[in-house]
A and B are shown apart, each in its own frame.
Chain A
Amino acid sequence: MKLAITTTINGRREEITVNPHQTLLEFLRDDLKLKGAVEGCSVGVCGSCTVLIDGKPVSSCLTLAANIEGKSVTTIEGLSQNGELDPVQQAFLKYQAFQCGFCTTGMIMAVKGLLNAHPHPNEAETRDYLSGNLCRCGTYKEVLAAVKELSGS
């Protein structure tokens, strides 16, 4: 049995069908072939599958695809406009706030969520907000530097 739902993905209204048990991450990766969100832990603690729903970061591995009905989903693929990187992506590049890159898309989406809700976070708030995005390469200092610049502080 499939569910027909209406949703918005990266700014485009879509009429889609999903399996009731399918996670949003599976739907994005397997059905839409959007491979930017990746699976790291499958229990919602590593943050590498982070996408935005109505501007707020969620772990897409813990979200059912059916729950995006009527909502707006933004993935890493939806950030750059006309080939121009989003300011968060630019800041990550400038500070080289990544190494292997596997957690990076989730980290960037979490930073988007942070700045959507709190445009000027201090360092302690940033650390707290991003503590659910794990980077085993340990590139946290550079992420903090990127966020600091983006927050204009």
Chain B
Amino acid sequence: MSLVGTNVEMVGGRAKVSGAVSYVADMEFPGQLYAKALRSPYPHARLLRIDASKAAALPGVRAVVTRNDLAGLNPYFGTGVEDQPVLVIDKVRCVGDIVAAVAADSKEIAEEAITLIEADYEELPAATDLLEAAKPGAPIVQEQHIDKRAGGNIHGVYRASSGDIEQGLKESDDIIENIYKIPPVQHGHIEPHVVTALWEPSGKLVVHTPSQTPSPLQEQIAKVFKMPLNRVRVIVPFIGGGYGGKNHARIEPVVALLARKARRPVQWILSRDEVFLTGRRFGAVVKIKTGFKRDGRLWARQVEAWYDMGAYALSGPANTKNAAIIAGGPYNIPHRDYTTYAVYTNLPPAGPYRGVGASHVCWAYESDIDDIARRCNLDPLEVRLKNLLRENDRFITGEAMISVGVSECVKQVAKSINWQTGAEQSLRSDAKATEQSLRSDAIVRGKGLAVAIKSTSTPSTSAASVRLNADGSAILLTSTSDMGQGAQTSLAQIVADELALPFERVTVTFPDSDVTPYDKSTSSSRATFHMGKAAQLACDKIREQLFQAGAKALEARVEDLELRDSRLQVKGVPEKNLTYPQLFKAIYGEASGSLFGSHTLRTEGGVDAITGQGKGSSFWFYSAAGAEVEVDTETGKVRVLQVASAVDVGKAVHPLQCGLQNEGSALAGLGSALFEEMLYDNGQPINSSFLDYLLPSMLDHPGEFKSLLVETPHPDGPFGAKGMGEAALPPMAPAIGNAIANALNGVRVRDLPVMPHKIVTALNGCKERR
């Protein structure tokens, strides 16, 4: 029986409902100390003097580290760009930069010690506004890492184009041009960043951390401490939510440094306000200009987008580069010219957040599609379907697109929210408010749609190793992290099917770099596709050994054999079979031993930064969202009545978990549409708590919430599966934005989030113009 495609009980589910999961913060080690940091109060300043002697003298303090403790190390680390110091060296680049850190017997002592550290700064002008930071003459955040030809704080410029943009705009019947703003938002993982580091007497460093990127993290730490990889052990248990916020090295290097100096295990759990200083979504500004034909055909599109990376690049350059390819959406457009800029600012570092890079441009290109439909007096659904990519269409990268389920996604979404087709119906909203209200005249309703495209990290590497035991049970050794998406469950389903084992007979390891092989990351929705495929190919290598041994023992040809129900048998002659113990006996002479199969999957591809040509993604993922809203035209309040979210998953390995990922992503998209926004005042964060920064609660969750899974198989994915965890987030904000604009007969807010006061202002602006 095939397990792939069924809803087996989630691995770890019982532990999760019992409170028996050990997250990193739950683990204690003998002699463990507690860390705390002194952080920069300024967005940009020279660190003149630092004196930690009083802190070091406080009873109970076991180690204090400052820039004076970096001798002998590679003091800068980073994912692509090594621009982040373990501790501030010459200057602070954002509020929250780590200037010093303490390890003490208790949290209270560590906190007290921090207050005893003396630091003198010379404040510098700060680049805290994205567009200003990108201009020549702006204060420079990272002198060593800017593209001097581009000017300002621009680290990299990325382009993709096709056709002739000038000609295309000339040939267009009409042109619209708009600017969209997308603010930073929080990942909102309820588990804060937390790290425990300890040095074994042998000199080996052990780091327990909820990391989505255990292998690259291990490399980064090894490089900082100038150690071989086998001396750095990174262990990742269940993660209490990641969403991109736990990619890359963050506080691991400084905790390891403290542990080395203290010669004791050190744990650091970030407070919530520190989490706000540690990661966020890029803010962005998107300028978009589209020429189109009267019949709704998109003819020419020009996009310029600026991405605010904050003080440190992390994956910003790669994410910004990927954004250049998808800046105009999943559409066929004859003439395209897209440019994106990765910009440093004196804000706390940004990084990947669910839907990275894609959400920003999607807000712009999908809002514009509805405006174009309105100009042409056409149904926005029809305009989308007329222009969307189809199977084998050439994308802007020059590659032929396969497994393109985007039209199906938007059709299903439209059906789900009872989209009224035709311009007459879809552009004019005259539905009445649902709730009895004395002010019901002020309340209007509307519906909106949006689609999205996103790439996965390409090229990239995932290695898997499967160990089969003689009793017919198997373990998958993998560095894929389980952060709630259910990776251990779906990977076990794949291995169980490949080896014809019951689900209970397959387990999946947690990442542990002493045991599990290299993996690029559990991010960009890549784990099922890449690790699933690697596991499948690793199983193939075990199968080969079993079939060879079985053919000999059963005196049959290899091609006449099949693995079924934990047995190798002759096809059509099930009584001629060998159980797993018998197979091991045939191979090793006794029913003991281990059979290994390993595979390293390396995907090909990548695009040229100047031309945008190449293979942009090992698989592309597509999604669509639909929403119906009620808008109070007097107060600007928006109520989301229903949403639908469709994702093309290729093949749903675990349909229930796919549905949960879809809903979670879509709900986060709803939050970013309507209220989520990290605020800064001259570089000072001003809403760094869940009191001031709202996450969607059960009251924000729409009453009607449809999760739809489209299955357009991908030839390279395991069982046809593609990634899907992030897919639902990008189109949700524009779907809601389009629904609001639909309710308001085209009046539109282009700055996220669409807060009530912006709606009122936009409505007032329209009245004034009349």
Contact = CB atoms under 8 A, between A and B. Distances in A.
Q: Do A and B come from one complex?
A: yes
Interface of A: 29, 33-43, 45-46, 48, 75-77, 79-80, 85, 89, 92-93, 96, 98-105, 108, 123, 126-128, 130-144
Nearest to A136: B188
A153 to B, nearest CB: 16
Given A40-B192, A96-B660, A102 B240 contact: yes
Contact of A42 (B20, B243, B272, B663): B272
B1 interface: no
Contact of A40 (B191, B485, B657, B666): B191
B21 A131 contact: no
A17 B271 CA distance: 26
Shortest beta-carbon contacts, A-B, top 9: A36-B19, A100-B484, A102-B240, A101-B16, A138-B664, A99-B484, A76-B19, A138-B667, A35-B26
A41 B689 contact: yes
B500 to A, nearest CB: 26
B667 A85 contact: no
11 contacts: A35-B22, A41-B690, A43-B691, A85-B18, A96-B13, A98-B16, A126-B698, A130-B698, A132-B697, A135-B190, A137-B664
A133 B698 CA distance: 8
B432 interface: no
Contacts of A85: 14, 17-18
Given A100-B238, A131-B697, A136 B17 contact: no
B705 interface: yes
A134 B705 CA distance: 18
B689 A99 contact: no
B25 interface: yes
A138 B665 contact: yes
Nearest to B9: A93
B241 interface: yes
A143 B667 CA distance: 15
Interface in B236-278: 238-243, 269, 271-272
Contacts of B19: 34-37, 75-77, 105
Given A41-B272, A135-B190, 13 more contacts: A29-B26, A36-B18, A36-B20, A40-B192, A48-B190, A76-B18, A96-B13, A96-B656, A96-B660, A137-B241, A138-B665, A139-B660, A140-B698
Nearest to A143: B698
A101 B21 contact: yes
Given A36-B19, A99-B484, A138 B698 contact: no
Given A35-B19, A75-B19, A137-B660, A128 B695 contact: no
B699 A127 contact: yes
B18 A134 contact: no
Nearest to B245: A136
Contacts of A135: 190
B663 A139 contact: yes
Contacts of A42: 271-272
Contacts of A77: 18-19
Contacts of B656: 96
B355 to A, nearest CB: 14
Nearest to B22: A35
B243 A136 contact: yes
A48 B15 CA distance: 16
A129 to B, nearest CB: 9
B18 A128 contact: no
A131 to B, nearest CB: 4
A93 to B, nearest CB: 5
B668 interface: yes
Contacts of B614: none
Nearest to B701: A140
B541 interface: no
Contact of B695 (A92, A108, A134): A134
Contact of A101 (B12, B192, B271): B12
Nearest to B482: A100
B76 interface: no
B195 to A, nearest CB: 15
Contacts of A144: 698
A96 B10 contact: yes
B483 interface: yes
Nearest to A135: B190
B689 to A, nearest CB: 6
Nearest to B703: A123
A141 B659 CA distance: 11
Contacts of A104: 16-17
B121 interface: no
Contacts of A100: 189-191, 238-242, 483-484
Nearest to B669: A138
Contacts of B696: 138
B486 interface: yes
Given A93-B14, A102-B241, A40 B664 contact: no
Given A35-B19, A40-B191, A134-B695, A99 B664 contact: yes
B191 A99 contact: no
B272 A38 contact: no
B513 to A, nearest CB: 22
A130 to B, nearest CB: 5
A96 B657 contact: yes
A24 to B, nearest CB: 15
B489 to A, nearest CB: 10
Contacts of B701: 127, 138, 140-141
A41 B663 CA distance: 23
A132 B19 CA distance: 19
B695 A136 contact: yes
A103 B187 CA distance: 15
Contacts of B668: 136, 138
A128 B663 CA distance: 20
A36 B696 CA distance: 23
Given A35-B26, A38-B23, A41-B272, A131 B18 contact: no
Contacts of A37: 19
B698 A131 contact: yes
Interface in B5-43: 7, 9-10, 12-23, 25-26, 28
B272 A40 contact: yes
Contacts of B18: 36, 76-77, 79-80, 85, 89
Contact of B240 (A80, A101, A132): A101
B576 to A, nearest CB: 41
Nearest to B728: A138
A43 B190 CA distance: 13
B663 A134 contact: no
Contacts of A40: 190-192, 272, 690
A10 B371 CA distance: 60
A17 to B, nearest CB: 16
Contact of B691 (A45, A76, A108): A45
A123 to B, nearest CB: 8
A76 B23 CA distance: 15
A136 B701 CA distance: 12
Contact of A93 (B13, B22, B269): B13
Contact of B484 (A48, A101, A126): A101
Given A40-B191, A85-B18, A140 B667 contact: yes
Contacts of B22: 35
B190 A92 contact: no
Contacts of A36: 18-20
A67 B74 CA distance: 50
A43 B690 contact: yes
Nearest to A41: B690
B20 A99 contact: no
A69 to B, nearest CB: 23
A50 B486 CA distance: 24
B453 to A, nearest CB: 22
A15 B566 CA distance: 54
Contacts of A98: 13, 16-17, 484
Nearest to B27: A35
A105 B15 CA distance: 10
B271 A134 contact: no
Interface in B679-701: 689-691, 695-699, 701
